[in-house]
Amino acid sequence: MSRRVRAVVLVEGVVQGVGFRPFVYGLATGLGLDGLVGNDERGVFIEVEGAPSTVEEFLTTLRKSPPPLALVERISSGLVPATGEAGFVISGSATGGPRRALVSPDVATCADCLREMGDPADRRYGYAFTNCTNCGPRFTIVHGVPYDRPNTTMAAFKMCADCAREYHDPADRRFHAQPVCCPACGPRLRLLDSGGEEIAGDPVEGTARLLGRGGVLAVKGLGGYHLAALAARADAVTALRERKHREDKPFAVMVPDLDAARRLCDVDAAEEALLTSRARPIVLLRRRADAEVAPLVAPGNRWLGLMLPYTPLHHLLLGRLGAPIVLTSGNVSDEPIVYLDEDAVPRLGGIADAFLTHDRPIHMRTDDSVVRAFRGEDLPIRRSRGYVPHPLTLARPVPRTVLGCGAELKHTFCLARDGHAFVSHHIGDLENYETLRSFAEGVDHFARVFDLAPEVVAHDLHPEYLSTKYALARQGVDLVGVQHHHAHIASCLADNGVAGPVIGVAFDGLGYGEDATLWGGEFLVADLAGFTRAGRLATVPMPGGAAAIRQPWRMAAAHLDAAYEGDVPADLAVVRRNADRWEAVVALARRGVSAPLTSSMGRLFDAVATIIGGRDAITYEGQAAIELEQWADQTEDGAYGCRLVGREPFVVPCAELVRAVVEDLRAGTAPAVIAARFHNAIAHVVADGCARLRDSGGPATVALSGGVFQNLLLLGRATALLEARGFRVLTHHRVPPNDGGISLGQAAVAAARDRLR
Ligand SMILES: [Zn+2]
Ligand SMILES: [Zn+2]
């Protein structure tokens, strides 16, 4: 017998629930190797035995072409004495050691499964829960590790003989697919009326019929319940808005296929790749003028959020309807998305005419992700289903386990250790008990599944944020306070795997500053461990505090009063519209009572939107600034002048900009042109500010972060100007520039400080 060797291999990363064991089985048996493969808490363990060159070939293929859904972090191997045992087996999961295995995100239905669902001769014909090793639910159904059926919400479904055969057959594409099931043994659909009583007949057909009549339906998805209505039916969309108490915030639309997407929006190659990716996010696309959707789907918006079907149920429903549907989170106003069956009828019964539901429980609530394409790459707006809990690889190791508690709006948290950061799914706005509980439970779940016990806890400096209070209440950990805008810049650094120092431009709505004013138009010279505030927007009072966020005309009053030193032109439309309350609000601003000072860029955008466009009050966060971007004439190159004043930190005088806007308005310039000139002016402010800091010895790399940089017009123009001046520009690709990225930034800062200990 020729010489045999036995190699022991450990594969770490996202390697469970992604078809890794069947892949190894096929590879090893194809090469005629003996041995075994199994999952344990660290990942996948393999033993292969055979001729030395064949074992070598096995290892090379393993490294070069692992299964498509796997994210291999590390492959380590060593030799042990050969045993001479013949055959290759898949062994059961071992338990007991430290848990290191990673869980895959949920994956959109694959082409093979779709083909089966459409084949009348297949036993899964028309089955709404078809899945395989390459697709199906993952993160949303896992409650423990290792990723095996008993640790998922599929545990209660006993496989039938046919499914069991597939599951145990190494040659089958469902070999060890944990959620495998079929009409005989798996979950079932049910259609319920608004009171929870079952409606007879085929549930998908019934749902399509009700939607076709203009009904609003709750549809159970992967990470929670959605509310659906035909996108082209004005009466249905209006009813949905009214019942959900959502006034203007755009709804997302699910289209049957790519052709349908192209009938509603312009789709370029990068956007097509995003739409059809395994994560299947909502992609914000330029809406076509002739798009057949009801006006209330996305009022006054040039963009439309589209997504393709990502579960078998969506495919069945959209296939039956052949028309786009609004598909929005199943909740009332700002509450978290409903995901428990027992909550669905009580909480959504007042909105939905009927419920398309099923009996596979959702363990982890997860909203749809939202993304834009910027220069052909991802610009995440909300990172959740399909991406979470994929770890972000960090450039620098995290010595002790860190928990970043996030901020308040668009909340996420982040657990990091070694080279991995696990940024959570989107939790929502952390403003009530329900979202706070969701945050706390989420931390416990991540800690359990990834075996991460936080030793260092990072938090925002704002004393009133529930995330800060949560951090301060944790016992036995080291606390690290991280300034909000430093966290933004650190998130952009971590996103790009860069350590700094950089010039960080952090423009957003508001964040608590080190001087107890509210920052938001900041130039920082920063690395991960620290920063200095090198420039900022001029401060103005926010008359009425939070009221000035909901009523941006108050910000217009504050900015106009500052720009004209009390002598505001009385014929301005914004003054006339708010004449009866103008003086009182200006007095509030001047007295400085209930009027905290802010250097916020988001609030300046609000003020300008109100002055030129008449948006006096908003119904969702960032609305006025978002509308300002929409109005802007993209072909306009003119920019208002703005000279930076002072040193260390320099100040961007808002008054000059506001006066230029008003002069143009009074001269009869079109609002679209004014909006564009204002955007261009801010882009120049960014470039001028950075050039000034580089000239005085600052770095030549710039990081752009904060919610204002979700604005593609500003982001594009600022990036172009900076590059023209020779800067390297870092933008976001893996986490959002908005507060959804804050938790990663906090964790990165805390880890950097921990490395310096
Ligand atoms: Zn599949
Ligand atoms: Zn079955």
Q: What are the pLDDT digits (tens) for 262-280?
A: 999 999 999 999 999 999 9
**Ligand 1 centroid – CA 446 distance (Å):** 26
- Give one DSSP letter per residue of 462-516, joined into a string: -TT-HHHHHHHT-SSSEEEEE-HHHHHHHHHHHHHT----EEEEEEEEEEE-TTS
Query: What is the number of the ligand closest to the CA of 158?
Result: 2
Q: Provide the pLDDT for residue 757.
A: 82
**Ligand 2 centroid – CA 96 distance (Å):** 31
More confident residue, 66 or 710: 710
**Ligand 1 centroid – CA 108 distance (Å):** 8
DSSP state of 199: P
Helix ranges (H only) for 551-648 are: 552-563, 573-577, 579-591, 601-613, 623-631
**Ligand 1 centroid – CA 133 distance (Å):** 6
Q: Provide the pLDDT for residue 162.
A: 97
**Ligand 1 centroid – CA 554 distance (Å):** 54
With pLDDT > 70 as the criterion, what percentage of the chain qualifies?
Answer: 98
**Ligand 1 centroid – CA 180 distance (Å):** 10
Confidence of residue 99 (pLDDT cuts 50, 70, 90): low
Q: Is the pLDDT of residue 96 over 80?
A: no
Q: Provide the pLDDT for residue 93.
A: 65
**Ligand 2 centroid – CA 310 distance (Å):** 22
Per-residue pLDDT tens for 628-667? 999 999 999 999 999 999 988 999 999 999 999 999 999 9
Place of tokens 């669905």: 344
Per-residue pLDDT tens for 381-402? 999 999 999 999 888 889 999 9
Per-residue pLDDT tens for 60-83? 999 998 887 788 888 999 999 999
Query: What is the number of the ligand closest to the CA of 174?
Result: 1
Q: What is the number of other CB atoms lying within 10 angstroms of the CB of residue 336? A: 21
- Give one DSSP letter per residue of 318-377, joined into a string: HHHH-S-EEEEESSSTTSPPP--HHHHHHHHTTT-SEEEEESS--SS--PPPEEEEETTE
**Ligand 1 centroid – CA 105 distance (Å):** 14
Q: Cα Rg for the chain, rounded, in angstroms?
A: 27
Query: What is the number of the ligand closest to the CA of 163?
Result: 2
**Ligand 1 centroid – CA 326 distance (Å):** 26
Confidence of residue 43 (pLDDT cuts 50, 70, 90): confident
**Ligand 1 centroid – CA 130 distance (Å):** 7
**Ligand 2 centroid – CA 113 distance (Å):** 14
**Ligand 1 centroid – CA 138 distance (Å):** 12
Place of tokens 């944020």: 465
Q: What is the number of other CB atoms lying within 10 angstroms of the CB of residue 257? A: 15
Q: Which amino acid, one-letter code, is at 162?
A: D
Q: Is the pLDDT of residue 92 over 70?
A: no
**Ligand 1 centroid – CA 131 distance (Å):** 5
Q: Provide the pLDDT for residue 398.
A: 94
| Mean pLDDT score, 522-546 | 96
**Ligand 2 centroid – CA 187 distance (Å):** 10
**Ligand 2 centroid – CA 165 distance (Å):** 9
Q: Provide the pLDDT for residue 18.
A: 76
**Ligand 2 centroid – CA 747 distance (Å):** 44
Q: Provide the pLDDT for residue 94.
A: 62
Query: What is the number of the ligand closest to the CA of 131?
Result: 1
Confidence of residue 176 (pLDDT cuts 50, 70, 90): confident
317 CA to centre of own chain: 25
**Ligand 2 centroid – CA 25 distance (Å):** 23
**Ligand 2 centroid – CA 166 distance (Å):** 9
**Ligand 2 centroid – CA 361 distance (Å):** 18
Contacts of 429-436 with CB under 8 Å at 24 or more apart are 429/334, 429/621, 430/406, 430/465, 430/466, 430/467, 431/334, 431/466, 432/334, 432/335, 434/335, 434/336, 435/336, 435/411, 436/466, 436/470
Query: What is the number of the ligand closest to the CA of 130?
Result: 1
Computed over every residue of the chain, the mean pLDDT equals: 94
**Ligand 2 centroid – CA 402 distance (Å):** 42
**Ligand 1 centroid – CA 734 distance (Å):** 26
**Ligand 2 centroid – CA 17 distance (Å):** 19
**Ligand 1 centroid – CA 112 distance (Å):** 6
Query: What is the number of the ligand closest to the CA of 133?
Result: 1
**Ligand 2 centroid – CA 66 distance (Å):** 28
Q: What is the number of other CB atoms lying within 10 angstroms of the CB of residue 63? A: 12
**Ligand 1 centroid – CA 566 distance (Å):** 66
Query: What is the number of the ligand closest to the CA of 177?
Result: 1
Q: Provide the pLDDT for residue 15.
A: 83
Place of tokens 């109100």: 610
Q: Which amino acid, one-letter code, is at 59?
A: L
pTM score, two decimals? 0.92
- How many angstroms separate the CA atoms of 696 and 100, rounded? 47
Q: Is the pLDDT of residue 493 over 80?
A: yes
- How many angstroms separate the CA atoms of 533 and 624, rounded? 27
Least confident of 128-132, 393-397, 740-744: 393-397
**Ligand 2 centroid – CA 119 distance (Å):** 17
Token readout for 132 is 């395989």
**Ligand 1 centroid – CA 10 distance (Å):** 26
Token readout for 271 is 């956007």
**Ligand 1 centroid – CA 314 distance (Å):** 14
Residues near 198 by beta carbon (within 8 Å), at least 6 away in sequence: 190, 191, 192
**Ligand 1 centroid – CA 471 distance (Å):** 41
Q: How would you classify the pairing of strands 478-482 and 456-460? A: parallel
Q: Provide the pLDDT for residue 91.
A: 78
| Listed residue (516, 209, 163) closest to 353, CA to CA | 209
| ∠ CA 307-430-489, rounded to 5° | 75
| Mean pLDDT score, 689-699 | 96
**Ligand 2 centroid – CA 592 distance (Å):** 69
**Ligand 2 centroid – CA 586 distance (Å):** 69
Q: Provide the pLDDT for residue 395.
A: 85
**Ligand 1 centroid – CA 128 distance (Å):** 12
Q: Which amino acid, one-letter code, is at 376?
A: G
**Ligand 2 centroid – CA 100 distance (Å):** 31
Query: What is the number of the ligand closest to the CA of 183?
Result: 2
**Ligand 2 centroid – CA 484 distance (Å):** 51
Query: What is the number of the ligand closest to the CA of 19?
Result: 1
**Ligand 2 centroid – CA 392 distance (Å):** 36
Query: What is the number of the ligand closest to the CA of 114?
Result: 1
Least confident of 137-146, 270-279, 366-375, 545-554: 137-146
**Ligand 2 centroid – CA 67 distance (Å):** 25
Confidence of residue 171 (pLDDT cuts 50, 70, 90): confident
| Mean pLDDT score, 294-320 | 96
**Ligand 2 centroid – CA 327 distance (Å):** 30
Query: What is the number of the ligand closest to the CA of 278?
Result: 1
| Mean pLDDT score, 355-368 | 96
Q: Provide the pLDDT for residue 16.
A: 77
Q: Which amino acid, one-letter code, is at 705?
A: S
686 CA to centre of own chain: 26
Give the CA diameter of the chain: 100
